[in-house]
A and B are shown apart, each in its own frame.
Chain A
Amino acid sequence: MDQIIGNFQLLLDYPIVNLKIIIDGVMIGALFALAAYGLALVWGVMNVKNLAQGDFVIAGGYIAWWLAQHGVHPFIGVVAAFVVMWGIGWVAYKLVISRVIERDLFTSLLATFGLAIMMAQIMNLLFGSDTQSVQLDYATYHFADGLIDVPAAKLMGVIMAMSLAVGVIIFMKRSRMGQAIRATSQDRRAARVMGIDTERVYSFTFSLNSAICGAAGAIIVMAWVIQPFYGITYSVRAFVIVTAAGLGNLPGVIAAGFGIGALEQYGSHILGIGYQQAVAVLLLLLVLLVRLMQQRRQRQVLR
């Protein structure tokens, strides 16, 4: 308790630290938002709650890491992770997801949970259980007497994440496939009547989600660290964000991503770093409570 008060006092004594916390939070939040957006896509279009979301992220990270070991620049690794994870997503769709789309909630949860465990174990076998990261020898910018530090690698990662997000938004708005995806998410049956091949839309959506996650993972490995069993942390965050922002609400997803990133940083500053993830889970609980009350009032079904 003394420590918590002391930590709180530090924030008041050095107000600039608040800015640092928010910057740190927004940077990691951008990547949470990316994974969450993929989840929202799959959830909205196919009504599959993908518990393996975080493991796709980590798998992408390992692809970029493996390539970096073989002399490929990590930025190219991001593209490579996008492409390879697209393929892995497609295989996962054909093998597992396509069989559970029309089933009830628990079937898809169980199937994707199984997928998550499988992926984590395969990565453990392939790459070992040590943490891995790719170090970029770029400068770190310091502000405010060195209290705020922004590593160039992190900044570039966030910029890449943002441009990927913008690219996906434009794609969804402008392209035929994007339109088909949105149409399918609005009404599956009507889309089929209008001649949209929903099966193709599904496999495309899931592959796209997997690719987005892969790119996010490749960015994460440049600025943070990965380990085969870290997937769950990203899955949890993605679920919190999507639940908070709602499906098909991209600005909401991004805002929620930044928000949860910053709140976690505050949590770990004040309560101690051991409670970082607890803050995320607590937020999920709060969001669910609020949503439940809203639903009660509006009497509508949340898919």
Chain B
Amino acid sequence: MKSIAKSGKTRGLASLLLAGAATGMLATGAAAAECEPLTLGSAISLTGKYATNGVHAKNGYEFAIQKIKENGGIQVGDKCYDFNVIYYDDESKGDRGATLAERLINQDGVQYMLGPYSSGLTKAIAPVTEKYQIPMVEAEGASRSLFNKGYKYLFAVLSTSEQYLASAITLAAQVAEKNGKSPADIKVAVAVENDPFSLDIRAGVLDDAAKYDMKVVIDEKLPRDLSDMSAILTKVKLVKPDVLIVSGHSKGAATAVRQIGEQSIAVPMIAVTHCEAADVTGNFGKAANDILCSTQWAETLSYEDPIFGTAANYEQEFKAAYPEYKNKKVPYQTAQASAAVYVFKDAFERAGSLDKEKVRDAIAATDLMTFYGAIKFSEAGNNIAKPMVLRQIQNGDYNVVAPAEFASHDLNWPRKPQ
């Protein structure tokens, strides 16, 4: 009974759509209604430990596909296409991801891939797409080890992990210059977890610190099961660095912010990763004030493009399409997933062909401004045009303070003990 009623309703809906399309045709000309499907594939974590972010990414893909469809689809030569994605659940496991990539390519005949969630999964899938020479645009794998393997078919729209907190060093140098001091006098303290991601961050910070000739006074590795870093913070009190960098996933952020508050640490600039995951504002309130947090993207940035509009517009429309995000911020994982789809659209149109080699070359030549930031790929395939964003927690709100030209707020400096 139920299904009959339902099909009746869809038929009604279909005829309504047809009527709508007919009027649409009158307005926009021939193509709009008859776009052919253009199939992409993606193995993505819908269950397992990355499920939350995997779903964020998938929603970002789907939202972008819908938006592109509404804006007339993808024009390749004189034909028009709409994206259609085959998803498989990789269960957050690398070996599963690689198997599914093989299946997408060999059995489903997928010619173009969207990335999975996390650096680990991307690392597992990239050798497969590379072997079959399938272009993959990924949005969720930031490890820089993805981009020193000589992959030719892998492109990433996000900033790589060594950039996560390097922008804090740049910001510290700018502040020093503004105050008439030399960046070379800045003392930097670094405490990062001993894992590949955080070590990438450390490498980026140390590289940039060396560029400005800054002095690294503390350089420590946090253990995996960190619950107490008072030893480092005591040292910070004694040697008085100007910048303190902490990266250790959510446990690092939680432990650092709590103990920075407890020990009244008075470092003028403190930059941390994973503030949101650790919910430092909700958990530690005032102690989190004026701490800098890195993010790939924020909705208050003044980036813009013709499909999604401004970053703020993206946030608004996405929330309208996915009401489950109504009471929270749209995660950057979603925004960058949408940007990856946009890169494909742009590349197909410039290539003017569905030939995967031509599409690959078109992706490599991308030079695109999006709501998510500028996108331009290096030889290695990572995005070199978009800087990492720093937000400062100001009275419990995350406000963008760097890069200065897209920022919505001024930096509070120096940070006072709260």
| Interface set, chain B 225-256, CB cutoff 8 A to A | 225-232, 234-235, 237-239, 250-251, 254-255
Q: Residue on B with the closest CB to A278?
A: B223
Docked complex: B188-232 residues within 8 A CB-CB of A:
191, 194, 219-223, 225-232
B225→A232 contact, CB < 8 A: yes
* A-B pairs with beta carbons under 8 Å apart, 5 shown: A21-B231, A131-B254, A132-B254, A135-B258, A273-B232
Of all chain A residues, the one with the shortest Cβ separation from B232 is A273
Residue B278 is within 8 A (CB to CB) of chain A in the complex: yes
Q: Is the CB of B277 within 8 A of A130?
A: yes
Q: Is the CB of A135 within 8 A of B284?
A: yes
B283→A135 contact, CB < 8 A: yes
Q: Are B231 and A265 neighbours in the complex by a CB distance under 8 Å?
A: yes
Given A140-B262, A140-B264, A147-B234: A3 touches B251 (CB 8 Å cut-off): no
Q: For this complex, into which size category does the number of interface residues on chain A fall?
A: 35 or more
- Assess the B234–A269 pair: CB atoms within 8 A: yes
Choose among A7, A28, A142 the residue that contacts B264 (Cβ–Cβ < 8 A).
A142
Contacts of A230 in B (CB 8 A): 225, 227
Q: Does A276 contact B (CB under 8 A)?
A: yes
B227 engages A224 (CB within 8 Å)? yes
Q: What 7 A-B pairs have minimum CB-CB distances, sorted nearest first? A: A131-B251, A268-B231, A274-B221, A224-B227, A131-B254, A151-B262, A130-B250
* A133-B254 CB under 8 A given contacts A3-B219, A229-B225, A232-B225: yes
B263 at the interface (CB under 8 A from A): yes
Contact flag A10-B228 (CB < 8 Å), given A130-B277, A131-B254, A227-B251: no
Q: How far is the CA of A140 from the CA of B230 in the complex (A)?
A: 14
Say yes or no: A24-B220 contact (C-beta < 8 A), given A14-B238, A130-B250: no
CA distance A24 to B228 in the complex (A): 10
B352 interfacial contact with A, CB 8 Å: no
A18 and B40 CA atoms in complex are apart in Å by 61
Residue A129, interface by CB 8 Å: yes
* Chain B residues with CB below 8 A from A137, complex form: 285
Q: How far in angstroms is the closest Cβ of chain B from A146?
A: 6
CA distance A153 to B307 in the complex (A): 52
B181 an interface residue at 8 Å Cβ cutoff?
A: no
Query: Is B258 in contact with A133, judged by CB distance below 8 angstroms?
Result: yes
Q: A130-B277, A229-B225 are in contact. Are A10 and B238 (CB under 8 A)?
A: yes
Q: Does B225 lie within 8 Å of A233, measured CB to CB?
A: yes
Partner of A131, one of B221, B228, B255, B262: B255
Interface presence of B49 (CB below 8 A) = yes
Q: What are the residues of chain A within 8 A of B278 when measuring CB–CB?
A: 130-131
A133–B222 touching, CB < 8 Å: no
Within 8 A of B (CB), among A118-138: 129-133, 135, 137
| A-B contacts besides A14-B238, A146-B264, A227-B251, 20 pairs, CB < 8 Å | A17-B234, A20-B234, A21-B231, A24-B230, A24-B231, A130-B251, A135-B258, A140-B263, A146-B263, A220-B227, A225-B255, A233-B227, A265-B231, A268-B231, A269-B234, A273-B220, A273-B221, A273-B223, A274-B222, A276-B231
Please determine whether B237 and A146 come into contact, CB atoms closer than 8 angstroms: yes
Asked whether A40 is an interface residue with its Cβ less than 8 Å from the other chain, the reply is no
Q: How far is the CA of A229 from the CA of B49 in the complex (A)?
A: 14
Tell me the nearest residue of chain B to A23, going by C-beta.
Answer: B230
Chief secondary structure at chain B's binding surface: helix
Task: Give the complex CA separation of A140 and B264 in angstroms.
Answer: 9
Inter-chain contacts of A132 with B (CB < 8 A): 254
Q: Is the CB of A28 within 8 A of B228?
A: yes
- Distance (whole angstroms) from the CB of A163 to the closest CB of chain B: 23
Q: Among residues 83 to 116 in chain A, which have CB atoms less than 8 Å away from a CB atom of chain B?
A: none
- Nearest-Cβ distance from residue B102 to partner chain A, whole angstroms: 29
- The answer to whether B238 and A17 have CB atoms under 8 Å apart is yes
Do A131 and B238 have beta carbons less than 8 Å apart?
Answer: no
| CB-nearest residue of chain B to A11 | B238
Q: How far is the CB of B42 from chain A (nearest CB, A)?
A: 24
Tell me, in angstroms, the Cα distance from A226 to B262 when the chains sit together.
17
Complex Cα–Cα for A277 and B226 (A): 10
Give chain B nearest CB distance to A35 CB in angstroms. 14
- In the assembled complex, the Cα of A227 lies from the Cα of B278 at a distance in Å of 12
Contact A7 B221 (CB under 8 A): no
Given A140-B262, A146-B264, A149-B262, A277 and B284 touching (CB < 8 A)?
A: no
How far in angstroms is the closest Cβ of chain B from A245? Answer: 22
Interface centre among B49, B194, B226 (most CB of A within 10 A): B226
Chain B min CB distance to A55 (Å): 13
Q: Does A272 contact B (CB under 8 A)?
A: yes
- Would you give the shortest CB distance from A173 to chain B, in whole angstroms? 33
Q: Are A225 and B251 in contact (CB under 8 A)?
A: yes
Contact with B along A20-51 (1 / 0, CB 8 A): 11001000100000000000000000000000
Cα distance A276–B224 in the bound complex, in angstroms: 11
Cα(A17)–Cα(B204), bound, Å: 32
Residues of A within 8 A of B219 (CB): 3
In the complex the two chains form, what is the Cα distance from A39 to B383 in whole Å? Answer: 53
List the A side residues contacting B223 at CB < 8 Å: 273-274, 276-277
